[in-house]
């Protein structure tokens, strides 16, 4: 028996390693608040629970769900896109349901032929699932450097025509985890122009778009009518539904959607219909993501002030619920990471997301007001080494 070498040699998911540290600290009796996982701890939008329970009660016979999702679920997404982005999507041929976006990200690479050495491109610091999906299938991966100088977005001008020719799948994540960088309209236009020229597909991973703190929402790939584009949306963050596992794969390229549906049928990833009923309630309501965003914005402001008072530089933070920051006197993450542990706060050192993250830290703030009070207090007590 020969096991996939990636499974044998790869490091555990970084969150698991951080949780192991948390557990070890707690076993020593240390009081530590974990601020490492983007998993909201406040209640799910109540309409979701009500709709899910109602659907369960109305369904004494439980049958296999459709791979592509119920038409009602896909219609709710089309209606949401129309209301929020003014775009008309055909629910039957342009939308497929997904169990959150994680599994869809992982599975999308099965769509393409990699036999000619084509590559998956990802930002050098990224949500680790893009990389895991490439490695498990042995697909060549190119990491595009991110730095303060490029606003933590891949520099499209730094790539040569020969390199572009090898790109088959380009992962764009805006607002970006972990740096919170947001790609503007011009960035999308340029990237989609390149995608059309060189024939690659842009996968736009957009799970943080509806939690934003600037007057205008972040640009979404949904606003572009391109055949080279696949958009992933998720209810996890905007509706506090990480436990439900609900999202969508959207593309104007109907042939891609047809093949994605075909590819996903044997995977058994159809979402249970009663969960989709909850999802419909979430997509149908535009008010609760705004209400959640208002709460996060207030917490962000308090945490940013506390960090700045200690001399940290906080980047972006105009969307999502992460703070990405560094300190001008430190080029390594670990001394800062340990100092935060000493004050009772567990954060993610930036290098967890890739080498370019060295020197930075990421803190989540999908926490309650009471926890925010305590975190602000502990930041005030932080002793830098
Ligand atoms: C950038 C990014 N994409 C996708 C996901 C997956 O979210 P979900 O599968 O819950 O939709 C996350 C979760 O943290 C994320 O940060």
Shortest-distance atom of ligand 1 to CA 242: 10
For a pocket test of ligand 1, which of 97, 101, 146, 242 has the largest count of ligand atoms closer than 8 A to its C-beta? Answer: 101
Residues 132 and 235 in one domain: yes
CA of 102 to the centre of ligand 1 (A): 6
Predicted pLDDT at 12: 80
Residues 274 and 297 in one domain: no
Mean pLDDT by 10 residues, the chain (385 residues): 90 87 94 95 95 95 96 98 98 98 97 97 96 95 97 98 98 98 98 98 98 97 98 98 98 98 96 97 98 97 98 97 98 98 97 95 97 98 96
Tokens representing 68 are: 């592509």
Residues 190 and 201 in one domain: yes
Residues 277 and 322 in one domain: no
Whether the model pTM is above 0.85: yes
For a pocket test of ligand 1, which of 15, 44, 100 has the largest count of ligand atoms closer than 8 A to its C-beta? Answer: 100
Q: Which of 356, 308, 292, 7 is nearest to 150 (CA)?
A: 356
Backbone phi, psi, residue 278, to 5°: -65, -40
Distance CA 54, CA 374 (A): 38
Cα 287 → chain centroid: 21
Domain span holding position 295: 5-30+288-380
Predicted pLDDT at 89: 98
Predicted pLDDT at 10: 86
In a domain, 294, yes or no: yes
Distance CA 128, CA 12 (A): 11
Predicted pLDDT at 11: 81
Residues 174 and 322 in one domain: no
Q: 89 preceded by cis ω (within 30°)?
A: no
Residues 253 and 296 in one domain: no
Predicted pLDDT at 99: 97
Angle, vertex CA 105, rays to CA 300 and CA 215, nearest 5: 30
* Ligand 1 pocket residues where CB is under 6 Å: 38, 100-102, 127, 173, 177, 205, 207, 234, 236, 242, 247
Predicted pLDDT at 199: 98
Residues 119 and 231 in one domain: yes
Residues 203 and 343 in one domain: no
DSSP bridge partners of 96: 249
Shortest-distance atom of ligand 1 to CA 245: 10
In a domain, 76, yes or no: yes
For a pocket test of ligand 1, which of 44, 127, 242 has the largest count of ligand atoms closer than 8 A to its C-beta? Answer: 127
In a domain, 296, yes or no: yes
Helices (H), the chain: 5-9, 14-27, 46-57, 71-85, 102-108, 129-136, 161-166, 185-198, 254-264, 273-283, 287-309, 334-342, 369-380
DSSP assignment letter at 64? P
Backbone phi, psi, residue 17, to 5°: -65, -40
Please tell me the total number of residues recorded for the chain in this structure.
385
């Amino acid at each position: 028996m020969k096991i996939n070498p990636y499974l044998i040699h790869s490091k555990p998911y970084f969150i698991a390693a951080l949780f192991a540290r948390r557990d070890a600290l707690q076993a020593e009796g240390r009081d530590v608040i974990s601020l490492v996982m983007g998993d909201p701890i406040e209640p799910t939008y109540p309409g979701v629970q009500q709709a899910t329970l109602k659907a369960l009660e109305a369904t004494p016979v439980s049958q296999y769900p459709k791979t592509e999702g119920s038409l009602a679920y896909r219609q709710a997404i089309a209606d949401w896109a129309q209301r929020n982005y003014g775009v008309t999507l055909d629910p039957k041929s342009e939308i497929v349901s997904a169990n959150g976006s994680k599994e869809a990200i992982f599975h999308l690479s099965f769509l393409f032929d990699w036999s000619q050495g084509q590559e998956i491109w990802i930002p050098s610091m990224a949500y680790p699932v893009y990389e895991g999906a490439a490695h498990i299938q042995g697909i060549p991966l190119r990491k595009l450097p991110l730095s303060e100088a490029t606003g933590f977005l891949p520099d499209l001008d730094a790539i040569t025509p020969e390199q572009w020719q090898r790109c088959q799948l380009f992962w764009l994540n805006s607002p970006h985890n972990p740096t919170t960088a947001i790609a503007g309209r011009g960035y999308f236009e340029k990237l989609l122009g390149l995608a059309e020229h060189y024939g690659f597909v842009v996968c736009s991973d957009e799970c943080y778009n509806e939690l934003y703190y600037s007057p205008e929402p972040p640009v979404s790939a949904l606003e572009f009518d391109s055949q080279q584009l696949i958009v992933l949306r998720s209810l996890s963050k905007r509706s506090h539904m990480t436990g439900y596992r609900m999202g969508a794969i959207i593309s104007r390229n109907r042939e891609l959607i047809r093949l994605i549906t075909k590819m996903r049928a044997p995977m058994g990833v159809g979402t249970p219909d009663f969960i989709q009923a909850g999802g419909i309630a979430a997509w149908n309501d535009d008010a609760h993501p705004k209400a959640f965003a208002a709460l996060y914005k207030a917490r962000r402001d308090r945490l940013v002030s506390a960090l700045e008072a200690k001399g940290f530089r906080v980047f972006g933070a105009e969307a999502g619920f992460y703070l990405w920051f560094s300190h001008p006197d430190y080029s390594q993450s670990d001394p800062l990471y340990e100092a935060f542990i000493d004050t009772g706060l567990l954060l993610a050192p930036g290098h967890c997301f890739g080498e370019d993250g060295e020197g930075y830290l990421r803190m989540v703030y999908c926490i309650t007001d009471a926890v925010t009070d305590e975190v602000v207090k502990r930041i005030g007590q932080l002793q830098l080494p």
